[in-house]
Amino acid sequence: MSGNDRASELFARARRVMVGGVTAAGRFNPVLGRPYYFDHGDGCRLWDVDGREFIDFSSSNGASMLGFNHPAINAAAAEGIAKGTLCTQETEHHVALAERMAQILPGAEQIRLVNTGTEATMAAIRIARAATGREKVLKFEGHFHGMHDYVFFNAHTPPERPYEAIVPSFPDSAGIPRVIGNLLVNVPFNDQPALLEALDLHERDLACVILEPVSYNLGCIPADPGWLKVLREETKRRGIVLIFDEVLSGFRMALGGASEYFGVTPDLTTWGKALGAGWPIAAVTGRSDVMSELAPTGHTMVSGTYTSHLPAVLAALAALKVMSTPGFYEHLNGVAEHLYTGLSELFATKGVEGHVQGLGARFGLYFGFPEQATDYRSATRFDRDANNRFLRGCGENGLHFHDFGAKNAPMHYGTTAAHEMGDIDEALERLDSIFSRLHEGVAQPVGGAR
């Protein structure tokens, strides 16, 4: 996958002018030794600059849940561009998008649009602090809520540390002042005694609790329903704002996301990725009394020149229309379950230790252990070497499973609305041979990308 090809030439050029040869750190693929260089995508397929075709299971880290080159999304975005590339102006389409979101998203009494998931979680925490007059944030070990300094901690707690009910703050990046960690309370996910201990100790200082109700950033670890119910009851009783970070889980298994799936409504929710079907748009939604802290009704500032850019707003409106179509989720979930069943059979029949965990159109692969992963510490037990050999085999055989390479837990992957049963069958045929090679300790090409 290297040598005298177009991708290698591009990477050589890129390294001369871009840090690490990439425009974003997550685009460097350490298994590959460079980023993928794709030329175009259509449906659930991608073609690289050397003409190789891939069945995609990364879907732009979850943003392209409708697939690539969707005609309704393309038409909507083109309409926005044709209106003059409006910035910093409100339109009737902004109103229509907010109205539709309020109709379908649990607890969405008021909406504020932003550009990215990072901006959304940053805004939600700011709103919670304004609403409560408190400053601390309780988050869960292994959960990722964007790259702003206030929460960029403990997505990668050193796994060799002993299990603790309240985990010391470890920044996930250089350049983050450690003192900010003093504003965080880090707790293991799905651990009720630890949760209650932390709430009892810090109740008077906590502005909010933020979590991924389905932690796809740990592969795929859902909240325990009973634990989640206790979390909702306790935060409500103590006057602490509960924030669901549905930037990744939103729309993934139901139109109302994980909140609809679990039947639990938080005070604030952040949305992104699938909302814009690949276009950059995100949102904070929530209770009117909490959201009213935002300017211009309150004194909490969340604004920006490119916020709710019109092509993205129109793309989101179109995406919500597609996702609201009767039968949409039956197809999305059915195709995903077909893949999960096939992967489970491969683990069982090919002598490869591990398992798949999936919910809706997103999943994780846990090479190296058969038990269900329920929190960060259990997820870190995955076999990185087997995982990387799997990824190498996929790349060499026309299956796109992207990986950042520096995670202590499995990467998340997914299917899209563009995948059909035939695409899954074709992928499973290739995976059958890859799993056979994994059992032998190698992962070599078995037919090549088309």
> Of 69 and 31, which is predicted with more confidence?
69
Q: Virtual CA dihedral for 69, 70, 76, 79, nearest 10 degrees? A: 40
Report the share of the chain in percent with pLDDT over 70.
Answer: 96
Domain range annotation of the chain? 6-69+326-440, 71-323
Q: Which fold has domain 6-69+326-440?
A: Aspartate Aminotransferase, domain 1 (3.90.1150)
Encoding tokens for residue 53?
A: 């075709």
Between 384-396 and 421-440, two packed helices, what is the crossing angle to 10 degrees?
A: 130
Q: Model's pTM, two decimal places? A: 0.95
- Mean pLDDT over the full length of the chain: 95
As a whole number of angstroms, the distance between CA 346 and CA 53 comes to: 23
pLDDT per residue as tens digits for the range 397-433:
999 998 886 679 999 999 999 999 999 999 999 999 9
Name the residue with tokens 């998340």. 412
- Yes or no: say if 135 and 150 are a contact pair by the CB < 8 Å rule: no
How confident is residue 450, by pLDDT bands cut at 50, 70 and 90?
very low
448: left (phi over 0), alpha (psi -120 to 50) or beta: left
CB atoms within 10 A of CB 6: 13
DSSP 8-state class, residue 211: E
Rounded to an integer, the average pLDDT of 122-129 is 98
Looking at the domain that runs over 71-323, which CATH code has it been given?
3.40.640.10
- Per-residue tokens: 391: 């990824």
Please give the pLDDT value at position 405. 67
Cβ proximity of 212 and 190 under 8 Å: no
Per-residue HEC secondary structure of 5-49 comes to: CHHHHHHHHHHHHCHHHCCCHHHCECCCCECCCEEEEEECEEEEC
Amino acid at residue number 66: L
Pairing of strands 282-286, 354-359: unpaired
What order of strands is seen across the sheet that includes strand 412-414? 354-359, 362-367, 412-414
The terminus-to-terminus CA distance of the chain in angstroms comes to 14
